[in-house]
Structure 1
C-alpha cells in the first residue's frame, strides 16, 4: 500500500502515486478493481478484451477503489508538462484547471479554433512565428498603426481576430459584429494564466471614418484565453457598441480602431495612442486613465463607451474623458 504524508498547512498529501500495472502511467480516477482487489485505471479497463485482470487473471468488476481515488485526488503532483518546462505542482484535483491555462501545454492555432481554417498546433513560444508566417494580416506588430478593416457591414455577422505581443506575453484581440444582438464587441485576452491576465487592462480607441471628431474609447480588464470569449461577449464584460452607433464610424465599408494593453499599476498613465505599451516614457499622445478609472469594471459590469471631448482653448488631441452613461 502506498505510503502518504499529510501536509496539514497545504491540505495536500505527499505520496509516491501508484502506477497502473497495464499502461504504467500514474493512476487517475475512476479506478476499477478485479475480483481479487487489483486496481487498474479506467482507460486500461475499457480496452481489456476479455475483461481479465492482467495480474491474477480474475475477471474485472465495476467496483471502484474509492480509497485510492481519494488519496490521489488529495496528492500534490507535478504538471504533466514539466518536461517542457512547467514547474508547477498542485493538488491533483486542481490539475485539470491548470492544464487549461498552462503556458507549456500543446495549443491549437486561435485562428483554427474560431474559423477552422488552420490545423497548426504547437507551443506558446512558437505561436507568434506561426502567425507571422501564416496569418500575417492577423498579427498586430506595429503598435503605431491602426487596424483598418474593409467591407464592414452592420447587417452581416463578422468576427476578426488579431495576435499582439507585449514583451514575452501574447494577447488576442477579438472584434465581433452580432446582428442578432445588434451589438459590436471588442475584447482582449491574455494567453496564459488567469492570475497573469488580471495584471493587465486594455483600451480600444475607435475613430469615425465619417467625422474625425467622433471618437470612442473603451477600457476594461483582460481575461485569459481559458475563458470563453463568447461568454465575455454574452455578459458584455468588454467594449460594447450598438450597431446603430457603429454605423456612424463606418464609411464605404471601412472601419478603423487601435488599442493599448498596459500593466494594471496604481497611477499608471498610458502615453501612446494606439500603443501596446508598458510605461514607455518616450511615447506621446493622449493620456488614458489607469485601471482605477475603470474600477466598476472589476465588478463585471461594462461602463459603456467613454468619449473624448476636447476642451475649448486647448491644442492638440482630445484628452478629457467623459462617460456617456449617466
Structure 2
C-alpha cells in the first residue's frame, strides 16, 4: 500500500492509504459506504449490479465516508507512471494536474491532436523518432536554418506545426493564419512541465521575402503542452502579426522565419506586466507601405516591446504545410 506523511499535530507521521476491496486500487473520492460501514470507491460502486457490498453482502448506500476522503485528500501519493520512470509524489488532489504534464505519460501524436491525421501514441522518448519516420516535413532539426513555408496565403486559413528538439527537450512550434481575426499567431510549447517551460524563452525572427532588410522578432516565454493552443490564440498570449503586415513578408507564396530557444537568463526575461514582445527593423528608406504596416503591428502587440539586434543566419531547409 502507498504511504504518506501527515502533520504531526494531526496524528501519526505515516499511515497507509486504504485500497478499494473491489478494484484493489488506492481509494479516491467520492467514497461510499454500505449499511455495515464498509467503504467502496466511486467507480466500483457504480458498476456493482446489484448494489451489494462485496464484503458483507449488505446493500450499498449513498452515505459518504467524509473522514476517509479528507484523509486521502491530504495524502502524498506517487505518480501512477512510476513503473515507467516517474519519481514524483504529489498531494492526491493535485495528481490530475500532474498527469496532464507528466513526461512519462502516454502521449498522442501532436499532428494527430491538431489535424486528426495520425493515430500514433507512445512515450515522450519515442516522439522524435516517430516524427522523423512519419512526419519528416514537420521535424525541424537544425535551428541554424530557416523554416521555409510554401504555398502560404493571407487569404486562406491554415495551421503549420513543427517538432523542434533542443538538447534533451522537445518543443512544438505552431503557426496559425486566421482570416476571420485577420491575424497570424506563433506559439511555442515545451513538451513537459510548466515550470521547465517557463525557464525557456523562444524567439521568432521573420525576414521579408520582398526586402531582406525588413525583419520582425518576437520573444516570449514558452508554454507547456498541457495548455490548449487554441486558448493561447484566443487570449493572444503569443507572437501576433496582422495579415496585412504579413503579406509584406511573403513572396510567391513563400514565407521564411528563424526559431531559437534559450534558457530564461537575465537579459532574456520578459516583464511581468505583459506577455510577449515584438520588434520590427527596417534598414531601408522610410515611407508608406511596409513601414506603415509595421507601425500598425505595434498597436496590436499583446505585450511590451523589447528590442533585440537583428540576427543573420544561413538559410536552408524546406517545410510544407500539413
Q: TM-score range by the shorter chain?
A: 0.7 to 0.9
Q: Output one character per residue of 1:98-149: Cα deviation in whole Å (capped at 9) or x when no partner.
A: 1111111111111111111111111111110111111100000022211111
Does the CA contact (< 8 Å) of 1:15 and 1:75 recur in 2?
no
Q: Which residue of 2 aligns with 1:197?
A: 197
SS in 2 for 1:7: coil
Q: Output one character per residue of 1:269-305: Cα deviation in whole Å (capped at 9) or x when no partner.
A: xxxxxxxxxxxxxxxxxxxxx414xx23x434333x3
Does the CA contact (< 8 Å) of 1:77 and 1:91 recur in 2?
yes
Q: Which residue of 2 aligns with 1:301?
A: 275
Q: Which residue of 2 aligns with 1:259?
A: 259
Whole-Å Cα distance in 2 between the matches of residues 13 and 25 of structure 1? 23
Whole-Å Cα distance in 2 between the matches of residues 23 and 237 of structure 1? 43
Q: CA RMSD in A?
A: 2.4
Q: Which residue of 1 aligns with 2:104?
A: 104
Change (3 A) 1:3 1:193: closer
- Highest RCO, 1 vs 2 (Cα 8 Å, sep ≥ 6): 2
Q: Which residue of 2 aligns with 1:168?
A: 168
TM-superposed CA distance for 1:90, in Å, is 1.4
Does the CA contact (< 8 Å) of 1:161 and 1:173 recur in 2?
yes
Does the CA contact (< 8 Å) of 2:221 and 2:276 recur in 1?
no
Q: Structure 1 unaligned runs (5+)?
A: 267-289, 313-321
Q: Which residue of 2 aligns with 1:245?
A: 245
Change (3 A) 1:34 1:3: farther
TM-superposed CA distance for 1:7, in Å, is 2.8
TM-superposed CA distance for 1:3, in Å, is 10
Q: Which residue of 2 aligns with 1:291?
A: 268
TM-superposed CA distance for 1:310, in Å, is 4.6
Written as runs of structure 1 = structure 2, the 5 A alignment for 1:141-290 is 141-266=141-266, 290=267
Whole-Å Cα distance in 2 between the matches of residues 4 and 148 of structure 1? 52
TM-superposed CA distance for 1:4, in Å, is 7.8
Q: Which residue of 2 aligns with 1:32?
A: 32
Does the CA contact (< 8 Å) of 1:14 and 1:76 recur in 2?
no
TM-score if structure 2 supplies the norm length?
0.84
TM-score if structure 1 supplies the norm length?
0.83
Change (3 A) 1:256 1:177: same
Change (3 A) 1:76 1:13: farther
TM-superposed CA distance for 1:156, in Å, is 1.3
Written as runs of structure 1 = structure 2, the 5 A alignment for 1:6-21 is 6-7=6-7, 14-21=14-21
